[in-house]
Every structure is written in structure tokens, then in C-alpha cells.
Structure 1
């Protein structure tokens, strides 16, 4: 990932059973812990970590795009963010404890921050360990002995961020029992009988307790630094030296594995990116935001529960030799965190750069040919370019070649498919845009001091000036948004799909080193990924937060309520700067877009598959919006049967169906729209073909 690649990363915690608490000695002599304490050897920051804290503070204050005043307001924001990420489910501590914690730590973090100290963070984390161990002991003991009644009309709140903390121990333990009952139901519906479930849960909680006993200072530091850095913006994060080593391996995409970038969110290992050209990408079985809860080796190896594991340890389990297989137990993102887990099997391999490259296909509609150019990412071999190597990998080169091939095939229109394209090289986004416009600005970049830079397409050649559509979804981000926004601002084509991610910021990696290495055995202090600039459209609006809105909306099955820049509480706001001068080409008018939109909406009503898609999407969204899940087996089973039906119909590529997935549905509807546009263009240009493919020379 170069610094232009979107860091669509909700950087999470390195450990799971996150909670928060305070000791009597920490708050005051007259304060008594409300729950029995569990013995924990206190974690303390190492000398290296203390030094890292000072450098993180310096860079955040001097170099971050957002100039944040260091005062009690920042202190409370960091504290609240720490609290939310340690105990987001509000299932560890009581209301009185939270109040005491806020009173004691709420206004002191800013003073420690200025000094580069992490005293409060470690104190809170040590208390978390006490409570986490207590909860795991309770969960294991209950799992070993409980006899649940699944006929009772109980429910569990899955989203408790607006719920109060339990008022007393009775409420807290009642919540823990409901959580256990929910886990039991999930396993019962997907895995087997009560005896095997009891054994598996008991083993899981015992392993989690073991993990808690093995916590290190780095776990506390990473958890606290997450709260500090994301209080500036969600894409700023700190990597310890060990964690950055894995980050580098991940970016090189050379290690044999499944081809997915992972992150931690609370207790879960979450798929942050499915790397184009990798095994997960080729299989189409693993999706962004899927939660990995178990890992098994080979076809029959035991699946180990990895909830609560450090991200580095999960990665080690998943990586392996080329040709070997790994089984992942996941909660699919499409189900909104509900429903039974499913198991996917992947064959480890290296990322195939050829499969990462742009590719083409042709869809025929009413004797019209519509070319499709799928761009998984905006890639560029920087070293090859620098050394002027022949045929170095470049999105612009590949798309240029494809346009020539589509011209030879006689296509009447082109769809550029940017769904799931998380970004990549900014240079390539600008150059690919230049293939469709004569010349002019493509994107503006503003730094923290107010300086502005305009990146332009300087090449006057246009390789294709016929009808064009850009197909996007919620995962289209960064460089993809720059391309789509430019096509829209120039009036060059029609944007189809759903609002894009809204990641309009630029990150830079800063290596933290001691200035006088001879004074210390360890010179490296880690890395800081820092937000340093912001993207703006040539029309002046930012792509940040709001993304690019489609001209014609075709929603996907992605849960847009939980995915996107606007879901982060600390994301930089949408803003505007002055527009830069450019000449719209106006290849498509607003009147034509209106006619296309009306035709599409009419087709949705008339066409059976479209009606089914809209119906199932409505059902899925209604299920996702429910904050509670039933703990009655009959109701639980009915809801999950519905989820299973929708997944089979739209997400598992059922070979018996003409349109095997919602991906096919969106692409085919886009082809219908372009077929209509071809007709509109032909009716307005008597005797003139819709296509105008120009020479590449």
C-alpha cells in the first residue's frame, strides 16, 4: 500500500475481552471495587515504549492534517474512545465504575499526552485484565453446567452503544448469560449437538483465559495508542516494531498465504481487504468485513477459536506453504454480524499479479456490444517505472491496451467497473482518467497549511470518447473516487451503483527512530501512519466523508450502515475549496441521465429478477437494522433460514441461476442502462454510430 492507497482500516485492538475498570488505590482511598478483583501482575510500559510515546505525540501535533488543541476536550475524547473500544458492548463494568473512571482519568490524559506518557492507559488496561479474567471464569463455569431453555421469549441487544452500563452485579451476570446463550444458539444451528457445543465453549473460554494470562506491555500500548491516534482521525495509527514487520510483509504481498489484509476490531479478526490476484480473491469466498473466528489446517484439522487472539498470532496460523489449504470459520459481513458461522476453505498461494491486472469482457444487448473493463486496484510498478523497464505493470498501460482490443471488437459503450477497488496509485488514477478526456485537471490536494496542488492530465490524446459508465459500490475508495468524481465533473459519463466509501485523505508512513542511536540498544520505535493531506474534486467539493454519489442508484448487498468513512466518529469532515478551471466535455447531459434513471426504475418494476432483488435487499436491511436478536430457538432459526436463503440466492453463486450473485445483477443492470444510452445517442445522431474509438497512435 503506497501512501495514496486508502487505509480503509478501522484499526482495532490487539486483544479481545476488552473492558475497563479502576482499582481503589487508583481512584481514591475511600473507593471500593464493586466487583471482586482478580490477581494480575500489572503491566508497565518499557523504556522503548515510553520513548515511542513521546515521538508519537510530537508527530501528531506537528504533522497531522487536523490541528487539534490539547485540552480537557481532547482528554475526554481519548478516554471515551478508549472506553468504547475496550468495552463497546458495555458488558464488563458497572455504571458506577465508569463514572468513577471518568472522574479520575477524564481530564488528565491531555497532560500525559503532552509529556508522551501512557500512565492512564496502562492503569485502565490493567484493570481490564482483572475484569476480563473474571468474566472468562464465569463464562467457562456456566458453559460447563448450564441447561438453557430455548423456548423462553428472551432477546439480546447486539448493538449496546446507546444502552446504559449494568447498574449492579445481577444485571451484569444476566447479560453474560445472554451472551453465552447467543453463542450456544449460533453453534447449535450450524455445528452440532449440545455435548459437542459444551465441550467447544469450555475449551474456548479456557483458551481465552490463557491468552489473558499472557498479556504483554505491547498489548496495552497498542490498545491505548489506538484510542489516542484515532482521536485525530480514523486512518492514523501506530505500529510497534513487531507489528510493522507484519504490516510490511502484508504490503509486499509476496508471502504465501490467502491474499487478505486483516485487522482487529474488538475480539474479532476482520478482513480489511481481499487483495486482487490472491487466493481469497480468486475463490470469491471471503469478503471485506467478514469476521474470522476460527482457523483450521488442511481438510480435517481442528478449527481453533481465535477470538481474542493477537493479530500477529492469527496471521501466523493463516499463513503457510503454497499448495496447502486452510479453513476459516467466519461470520459473513453480509449477515450484519448475525446468523450461524460458515466455513470456507482456501488454497494458499502467492498473489498472482496477472489476476490483479485490469481485465475485459463483453456483454451483448439488442445487437449492441458493451465492453466491461474491471479494475481491481490502481496498480503501478514504481521500481519498474523508475528503471524504465519494458512492460512494467501499470493500470494505464493495461487499460490502454484493453481499449484498443475493445475497439477492434466494435463495442458501442464501455463500463469501467471499480467495485471493491480500494484505491492504489494516485498517479495511475490521474492517467487512466486522461484516457477518456482531452486534457485538464483531475484532482486537487490540500495540505494542513492550506497549500494546494492540482494534478492534471497533460496528454491531449483521447483513447475512447464513446458512451462510458463507471460502476461503483461502498468499497470503491480513494483513487477510485478520484476517477469517478472526475468523470462525473467533466460530464464524461454516468456513475452507476451506490455512494462510494468517502475516503478523501492521504496518509504517510513515518519511521520513529531515536536521533542518537549510540545511546540505546534499540533505535527503532515503530511506525506512525499519519494523515497529512486531503483530496478535493476539481469542482471544489471533497471526496472525504460523503464520497461520490451515483447518478443512477443500484444498491449492493453491502451493509452501508456499518461501512464507509461516515461511520467513523473521528473522520475528517466534508469541506470545499475553490474549484479549479476545467472545461466540461458534456458527453452526457442531465436530461439524458434523467431518462436513463426513469427507464431503469421502470425496468425494476417490470422485471422479475429485479423485483426479487429489491425484495430480498429490503428483508436483509430490516434484519440488519434490528438491534436485538431473539434467543428463542424457533425465532432464531426462522431469521437465520431467511438469511441463509438470501445468501444462497445472491452471494454464493448458485450455478442454477442465470445471475449467480448480486455482482452479476449490478453489472447486468448497468449493461441495460448503457444499452438505453446507446439508443438515446443514436436517436440524437442520425446516421452516426454511438462508438468513436480513436487510434492509439
Structure 2
């Protein structure tokens, strides 16, 4: 038996050693590629080492209940300032060391949880929970680990109980039975999370690959062959899909929200809207929803490598059952351009561009610019007087598509300046003379408007070809490409190769595109911006003297903006958003430092959050009733493809009460009156 154990240990150490050698080779190739191609490469030094180490620890131990202080100190003293040297010296044994200590730590936590599962927790203790805004020091010691877990479990259980009812008296009357019920669920979910974590292969290695890349900037990243395939697929309007959409409910359960009538889930016939997904399986592993992260669940369910997926489903009033689905290539309606006509004082066209998708792999499929061109032609056949382009929550995509799209609205001339690592300035020209549409244009943007969509918006804004309204955009003015590592077909880097600037020489990097008319957007002050990333490029300005002629005088844009600003200030819908944002800010940005660890205080804390959530959920104004309809040609298409009608009707229903669209229409009406 001892001989077998010895052989197993030797074999295991050989695998670890080989994995470390392979990891170092990949890191070396990643560095070589970034140093060669990145627009602004940095030296591999102590700063990189600190960045990787601190972020890795924060990822592995975000709640500071995994590592002992002594373990952290050992790792910190040994590696925090040395990872750069070790990587350059091809010595990646640190990966094994960190992994071994991490697994030992979470197994230690598992043992404590199993022990506490058999014991009673004392809820009469006078105690508080401290709320931290940022990562805090590692403080766990062998003597206080169990005490920390007892405190954490009490807080988690009380939080679950507080959310089980809106009536505190009812909770207090049934407190003992609720404790027993939620204690079992909470502890088993924690154990399940640890078991899931123990099964993750190469997680720390790939996390280090990713951190090495994001040290150079937030958008340079490591891709395995599978993640690269998923990323490219996300930039397409056709993708492998199970044919349904999910959402998280208030209990963090995954619920089926929509089923695509053209997809495999609909054809299977077993799933219904409102079904709860309990677990997700491919041919190799099963993830229980309650004990896996959303990142793991998303990766398993969306990966192109997992073509056959089995779901365990819970439906009210029925026994749990499983459904096996095989993915099919279907049109992704949520990633496809669509348009409508809004009738009123003037007939206005509306085009939604969810992303700047392209035909990267399917040469028979049209890209975003071509699809927008088709929709413009349909709208012009209905004699529209103006056009609203909705780029809200458009995270970007293909820069080539953005350049083509700008050409549909600009006659000819320079549209942008691109700078590479040599600091060489290349002026991007609209290569096609003429334009497809020359009427007034309004562009809707928000914090989710990023990259290629910001690029497009700045071109039309600089030419006074469109007015931009909404909130400031993300602030990403860089361009990436996906490159394979040398002699390696399984590992890739999405590397930032260019920075782009407006034709004025200015940049929206880290500050976003500033709208001509700022309009309140829900959650805008707590959404993450480019400037929030620690490795984001700073804003800078180029010295340039490019000649270009704006289409209309800035004085007219300024006058229209003043009229719109006054209207927005008097609008009760937008004023309600401002009020909601203030309430959200008060809770998110200024949380209480400590919360008493007892049911009444936690209930009151949750009640405040629930009140805001309920007000946001119930916040809608259906008094607009805009006259939105399909373009004549699109209406005729629905007779050929009737399965699309339900989707179109839902989109029209949403647009009828869209206050941002309404304000855009009002600005176009003002334009014609002023003109």
C-alpha cells in the first residue's frame, strides 16, 4: 500500500512539474506577442508581479475566509515582488504552491462546514457584521477560523430568512423553523461550492494568464481555443444556441424567460416560460445552479464546444425532470439590427443596433453595416423625415463595420485617426463617395455604449451629422485583434494594437463620448466605466490639422440642445429616474459600516433595498403610446415568416413607451421648425 501511495505521489508531482513548464512556455509566448504587437507595451517588472498577485488573491479569497494570515504572509513574502522574475526565468512552480495551499484551505473550510452542519448556531450573541467597500486585509488565524464561519453562516441564514417574507412579525413567529430550514440549505450550498471549486482544472493557471494580459490594459486578454470561439460567436448574428433566454429572479434562481420559436428548445416541446433550471450538464460535468458561479454556468451553457446540454428543470406542481437539447445555428434576434416607423408630426425611422457584428466566419452572412443599409432603404420607402439610431448597451464589435456604417451617413472625407505602437498616425478615410441617408439623425447612447459604437457616434458628432443624446458612454478608444501564440493553435491573445482618435485630435478614452444632450439613465452613477479599470489608458490629445466640413452649423446643434435640455428638466419620467438614482447611490455608495447581527436589523436593511428594487420594477410610464409600426416591407415579410411576429410585437410594445425615443423625435420636430 505504501509503495502504491509513493508511486502515486511521484506521478502526481511529475504532472504538476510538466504543467508548470507548459504554463511558463505559454506565459513567455504571451509576453513575446504583447511586447511585439501591443500599442503601448510595459516592461515586465515588480508592478506586474504586484498586479497579478493581489488580483489573484482577491479572486481566490474575496470574502477573506479562505487563507490564514500566515499562509498569505508566506505567499506574499515569497511571490508578491518576484512573479516577474520567476516567469522570465521559466520557473512557474509558484502556480503549484499557490494551488496546493488554496485547495488545502478550502478543504479545511469544508471540514468546518460539515462540523457546523451538525451543531446549533447561537443567534442570541450580540455581534455585528462589518461592511467593506474594497478588498480588506487577510485576517483569519487557526484560532478564529471557526468563529468567522459561525458568524458568516449566521449572517447568510438571517439574510435568507429576512428575504423570505415582507412581514417581520411573521418571521419572528416562525423563527426557529425558518432557522432549521435555511441553515441546512445555506451550509449545503457552501459545501457544494467548495466541491465545484475542487473540480475546476487549471483555473489558477488560466487566471494568471488573464491577469498577465490585463496588466497591459483592460481589453488585452488570454483566450483558450474554446473561449476564442465563444468570443467570435458573440460578435455574430447567427450562433450555436439552445434557443431560449434566462433571467435571475429575486431569489437568484435561473428562470427561463423566453423561448425562440425557431430554436431547439421550442422544437423539443418540453420547456415552458417560467421553468426553473436546477442544474446544467454536458457530457463531462454537471453544475448545480445553487453552488456554481454565474461565470461557470454561463461558460458551460454558452460554450460552442458543448453542443449537447442536459437541463434539470423544476416546474411548480410537477416532479423535477430533465431535458436534453442539441444546439443549432439560429439567428440571434438580440444581436441583429431591426427597425420600425414612428408616426406623428413627422414620420421618423428607428433602427436598433445591438452590436457591430460581422461575418467573421460565415461569408454568406451580412454584417451590421449592410443590415443597417437594408433597413434604411425599407424606411425610406415609407418616406421617413428623420432617423433615430439606438446604440444603447451596444458594446461594440467590428471596427470595420463601424467604418462602413459611418460611410452611409458621411459623403466622403477623413473620419478618424488611428495610432499604432510606433506612434504613426494613420488617417482613416470614408472610402465611398456619397451617402445612403442624408436626413436628420439622432443617436441614443448610454454607459453600455462602447468601443466601435462610440467610434461611430464620434464621427457623426464631429461632422454635426447627428446629435448624440443620453448619458456618457463607457470610454473605450482602443482596437483589438485576436492573435495565436507562436506555434500554438490552442492559445490566443486578444491584444490591443491601436488607439483611435477623433478627427479633431481629441479622444474619448476614459471619459466617454459626451452627449449633446445629457438625459438621466437608471443606474448611471454606479455603472463601471473605462476609467474605473486600474490599467486603463489615460485620456490624451493629438496635435493634428485635418480639414473637414461639418454638415450643419454648430449653432443649430447648440440651440436644439438647449431646447431639449429644458424639456428633459421638466419631464417627470426623467425626474423620477434622478430621484431613484439618488436612492440607489445612498445605499450602494454609502453603505452602513456595521450591521447588527440580528434579524430585525437585517430585515430593515433588506427592506430598504427591497423597497428600491420594487420601485424600480414598478417604475414605468405607459402614457406615451407612440405610434410604432413595422415598415411596409417588413410587414409583408411577416406574412412569409409568421413565427417572427411575436418578437416584433414585443419590441413594438417596449418602444411605444420609450421616453428616450420620444425625446429624440421631439428634437427632430424642433429641427424642422427651426430650419
Q: Smaller-chain TM-score range?
A: 0.7 to 0.9
- In the TM superposition, what is the alpha-carbon distance from 1:537 to its structure 2 partner? 1.6
Following superposition, the deviation at residue 98 of structure 1 comes to 4.1
Q: How far apart, in 1, do the equivalents of 2:664 and 2:60 lie? A: 47
2:398 aligned with 1:425, yes or no? yes
Q: Relative to structure 1, is the Cα distance of residues 246 and 608 closer, same or farther in structure 2, using a 3 angstrom cutoff?
A: closer
User: Which of 323, 326, 350 is 1:372 aligned to?
Assistant: 350
Quote the residue 2:189 is aligned against: 204
- Evaluate the alpha carbon distance shift between residue 669 and residue 574 of structure 1 in structure 2; reply closer, same or farther with a 3 A threshold: same
Per the alignment, in what secondary structure is the counterpart of residue 441 of structure 1?
A: strand
Looking at structure 2, the residues matched to 469 and 497 of structure 1 have their Cα atoms a distance apart, in angstroms, of 10
Where in structure 2 are the equivalents of 1:354-503 lying within 5 Å? Answer: 356-365=335-344, 367-382=345-360, 392-503=365-476
1:79 aligns with 2:64: no
CA contact (8 A) 1:277 1:353 kept: no
Matched, 1:505 2:478: yes
How far apart, CA to CA, are the structure 2 residues paired with 1:277 and 1:397? 26
Once the two structures are TM-superposed, the CA of residue 548 in structure 1 deviates from its matched residue by 1.0
Tell me how far 1:415 sits from its aligned partner.
Answer: 1.1
Which piece of structure 1 moves more, 124-133 or 587-596? 587-596
Matched, 1:678 2:656: no
Aligned mates of 1:658, 1:179 — CA distance in 2: 49
User: Structure 2 matches for 1:61-210, cutoff 5 A?
Assistant: 61-93=35-67, 98-142=72-116, 144-147=118-121, 149=123, 154-157=128-131, 159-161=133-135, 163-166=136-139, 168=141, 175-189=148-162, 193-210=178-195
CA-to-aligned-CA distance 1:624-672 (integer Å, 9 cap, x gap): 223458552321331232133134224xx89899799998699424433
Distance 1:108 1:634, change over 3 A: closer
Match of 2:219 in 1: 235
**Match of 1:33?**
none
Whether the 8 Å contact between 1:57 and 1:116 is mirrored in structure 2 is no
Q: 1:58 to 1:347 in 2, by over 3 A?
A: closer
> 8 Å contact 1:295–1:328 — kept in the other structure?
yes
Q: Does 1:561 align with 2:544?
A: no
> Which residue number in structure 2 is paired with residue 22 of structure 1?
none
CA drift of 1:208 comes to 2.8
Are the structure 2 counterparts of residues 152 and 637 from structure 1 closer, same or farther at C-alpha, using a change threshold of 3 Å? farther
Q: Is the 8 A contact 1:487 1:493 kept in 2?
A: yes
Higher relative contact order (CA 8 A, sep 6+): 1
The CA distance in 1 between the partners of 2:555 and 2:142, in whole Å, is: 61
What is the match of residue 336 of structure 1? none
Q: Does 1:618 align with 2:582?
A: yes
Trace 1:221-300 onto structure 2 (pairs within 5 A).
221-241=205-225, 244=228, 254-257=239-242, 295-296=278-279
Report the Cα distance in structure 2 between the residues aligned to 1:61 and 1:295, rounded to whole angstroms.
45
Alpha-carbon distance between aligned partners in 1 of 2:567 and 2:127, rounded to the nearest angstrom: 43
- Distance in 1 between residues matched to 2:233 and 2:407, nearest whole Å: 33
Q: Deviations over 1:218-247 (max 9, x none)?
A: 222112223322212222222345655665
Match of 1:633 in 2: 602
Distance across 1 between alignment mates of 2:214 and 2:467: 35
C-alpha contact (below 8 Å) 1:477/1:502 kept by paired residues: yes
Moved more, 182-191 or 404-413: 182-191
Q: Output one character per residue of 1:310-359: Cα deviation in whole Å (capped at 9) or x when no partner.
A: 83895159998899978799xxxxxxxxxxxxxxxx99875415663322
| Residues in 1 aligned to 2:128 and 2:536: alpha-carbon distance in whole angstroms | 37
Query: Which residues of 2 match residues 570-581 of structure 1 at below 5 A?
Result: 570-579=535-544, 581=546
Would you say the 8 A contact 2:24–2:87 is kept in 1?
no
Which of 588-597 and 200-209 deviates more?
A: 588-597
Which has the larger helix fraction? 2
Aligned CA distance change for structure 1 residues 313 and 639 (closer, same or farther; 3 Å): closer
Judge conservation of contact 2:526–2:585 (CA < 8 Å) in 1.
Answer: no
In 2, distance between residues paired with 1:409 and 1:170?
A: 75
Corresponding residue for residue 333 of structure 1: none
Name the residue aligned to 1:214.
Answer: 199
Distance 1:100 1:302, change over 3 A: closer
Shift of 1:586: 4.3
Query: CA–CA distance in 1 between the matches of 2:670 and 2:484?
Result: 56
Compared with structure 1, are the counterparts of its residues 448 and 327 closer, same or farther at alpha carbon in structure 2 (3 Å cutoff)? farther
Which deviates further from its counterpart, 558-567 or 54-63? 558-567
**Pair 1:585 & 2:558 matched:** no
Cα distance in 1 for partners of 2:441, 2:602 equals: 50
SS in 1 for 2:347: strand
Q: Distance in 1 between matches of 2:311 and 2:294?
A: 21
Deviations 1:39-59 (A, max 9, x none): x98955524334323222322
1:643 aligns with 2:574: no
The TM-score, its normalising length taken from structure 1, stands at 0.72
Deviates more, 1:318-327 or 1:460-469: 318-327
Specify the SS of the correspondent of 2:206.
helix
Change (3 A) 1:242 1:360: closer
Whether the aligned pair in 2 keeps the contact of 1:474 and 1:564 (CA below 8 Å) is yes
1:237/1:529 contact within 8 Å kept: yes
User: 301-310 vs 100-109, which deviates more?
Assistant: 301-310
Tell me the distance in 2 between the aligned counterparts of 1:181 and 1:435. 60
Aligned partners of 1:156 and 1:179 also within 8 Å: no
For the residue of structure 2 that corresponds to 1:368, the secondary structure is coil
Compared CA separation, residues 170 and 573, structure 1 to 2 (3 A):
farther
**Preserved contact between residue 49 and residue 84 of structure 2 (Cα < 8 Å):** yes
- In structure 2, what is the equivalent of residue 352 of structure 1? 331
Residue ranges of structure 1 left out of the alignment (5+ in a row): 1-39, 263-267, 283-292, 330-345, 515-522, 686-697
Per the TM alignment, residue 417 of structure 1 is displaced from its structure 2 partner at its CA by 0.2
Shift of 1:414: 1.5
Root-mean-square deviation over aligned CA pairs: 4.4
The alignment of Structure 1 onto Structure 2 pairs a total of residues equal to 588
Classify 1:219/1:184 alpha carbon distance in 2 versus 1 (closer, same or farther; 3 Å).
same
Please say if residues 162 and 603 of structure 2, whose CA atoms lie closer than 8 Å, have aligned partners that are also in contact: no
In structure 2, what is the Cα distance between the partners aligned to 1:618 and 1:256? 39
Which runs of 5 or more residues in structure 2 are unaligned?
Answer: 1-11, 166-177, 267-275, 316-324, 627-649
1:120 deviation in Å?
A: 2.5
Of 410-419 and 393-402, the range deviating more from structure 2: 393-402
Partners of 2:392 and 2:444 within 8 A in 1 = yes
Q: Deviations over 1:409-451 (max 9, x none)?
A: 3333221101111112222211211222221122222111222
Q: Deviations over 1:223-272 (max 9, x none)?
A: 2223322212222222345655665666675322367899xxxxx999xx
CA displacement at 1:616 relative to structure 2: 1.9
